[in-house]
Chain A
């Protein structure tokens, strides 16, 4: 009798503990899907379209993006070794500038698209990193977009986007490296600030 009871208790315990770990850690695709879908929904939302709603729209997109994308990790990667040489304040400032740059460039680009559809192809996991392959259908042209993700504290976040072998992080890193070599960190900050400002003046036109 007690043995049977014990067996059931153990069984229940196993079942629930298994369930809870499954709930705690979603796979990379499950984490990425809602993020992308929410961003697409905002872009498709007619109440938020047009230049007059731009700030509101960007703010909403960025709130979602911060949950799904690891901007700190990206900032670290694009700076390379220089990251270790700068202090906390500079790190925070750089992360903020780089996030703004990504917002200006990539969300700016996304805004020009319409009626995009993202198809999830497959995912590969190796240790705490994963690659989720998607196909973006943009007006009949299929673009393969891969999201490279890192697992931190059991949640998966995107730290690189790779399109046909062309890596976003690597591209920025090479550019920054070439600027850092000539103008050091302060020069890079200035270039970033100027670039971000150029989007503001362009938009106010």
Chain B
């Protein structure tokens, strides 16, 4: 019950943020002059310098602003919080975890977590009309759940050459033409934007763990287990970001936005090819 309420709240917050997109943009012109200047400057600079035809294959991205971050002061606080969480909790836990659990096992657990979230990818591939990819997701799930022993192995990739097809609801919304809205840095969850926050809420609902149990603790344990395991497989990513950037908050924001846009744009570009054919 509690968990359902929690996600409902998250979901509603997402809708609220999404609904506020238009307002956020207009507001930034008046109440937050700094941000609007930023966006305006960024926009025209973006196109006389890096006006990359390569980066803007999709016509929609030409009109896409660089970013909207009117909540930057709040986001920075949460960024700091996550930073402390990383160095005080996650990193020590990860060091212990990596010392105890051999790397092969960690890959197995990673496969297990990924396999369990197959329904999310299936749903989102279907929603984006990518039926052949949806078929691959389904085949991967069936092969890995049986031959791969509950998804611990990945024989679908190794023996059947079926590449994973990651999709989430944030990407689906992007493919449908929903704008990304304001940038958000959530405590614990990390960087996101209004659209992907809504997407995350929906994905949580389509994850089997929510249906199989009603206990918030189990879900939290599942989530943190997944997070620690992921971190143990890419231990350097955040350290590098901190080490190599002059303003880690800005750097992370840019990485997140660029990465997500690229994932969604890829889709649009592929779609165009299909249309042309």
Contact = CB atoms under 8 A, between A and B. Distances in A.
B254 interface: yes
A178 B252 CA distance: 13
B262 A109 contact: no
Contacts of B247: 175, 178-179
A4 interface: no
Given A164-B262, A165-B263, A177-B38, A126 B251 contact: no
A164 B259 CA distance: 6
B254 A165 contact: no
B121 interface: no
A34 interface: no
A114 interface: no
Contacts of A42: none
A165 B262 contact: yes
A64 interface: no
B244 to A, nearest CB: 4
B258 interface: yes
Given A166-B255, A166-B258, A166-B262, A178 B250 contact: yes
Contact of A148 (B52, B253, B254): B52
Interface in A79-97: 80-81
* Contact-residue bracket for chain A: 20 to 34
A99 B246 CA distance: 14
A167 interface: yes
B41 A169 contact: no
Interface in B228-259: 240, 243-247, 250-251, 253-255, 258-259
B49 interface: yes
Most chain B CB within 10 A, of A80, A109, A160, is at A80
Given A77-B50, A165-B263, A177-B38, A171 B246 contact: no
A165 B262 CA distance: 5
A81 B45 contact: yes
B259 A166 contact: yes
A126 B53 contact: yes
A72 interface: no
A69 B34 CA distance: 34
B38 A165 contact: no
Contacts of A146: 54
Contacts of A80: 41, 45, 49
Nearest to A73: B49
A137 interface: no
Contacts of B54: 124, 126, 129, 131, 146, 148
Contact of B240 (A109, A176, A178): A109
A81 B41 contact: yes
Contacts of A162: 55
Given A81-B41, A81-B45, A167 B50 contact: yes
Contacts of B245: 171, 175
B258 A170 contact: yes
B140 interface: no
Nearest to A199: B243
A129 B34 CA distance: 33
A169 B50 contact: yes
A106 B243 CA distance: 11
A132 B81 CA distance: 39
A106 B42 CA distance: 26
Interface in B174-218: none
B259 A165 contact: yes
Contact of A175 (B38, B240, B250): B250
Contacts of B251: 171, 174-175
Contact of B254 (A77, A106, A171): A171
A122 B277 CA distance: 22
5 contacts: A131-B54, A165-B262, A172-B246, A174-B253, A175-B254
Given A146-B54, A174-B253, 11 more contacts: A105-B243, A105-B244, A109-B244, A126-B53, A131-B54, A166-B255, A166-B258, A171-B258, A175-B250, A179-B246, A192-B246
Q: Which 10 A-B pairs have the closest CB atoms?
A: A165-B262, A105-B244, A175-B247, A166-B258, A175-B250, A174-B254, A171-B254, A131-B54, A178-B250, A165-B258
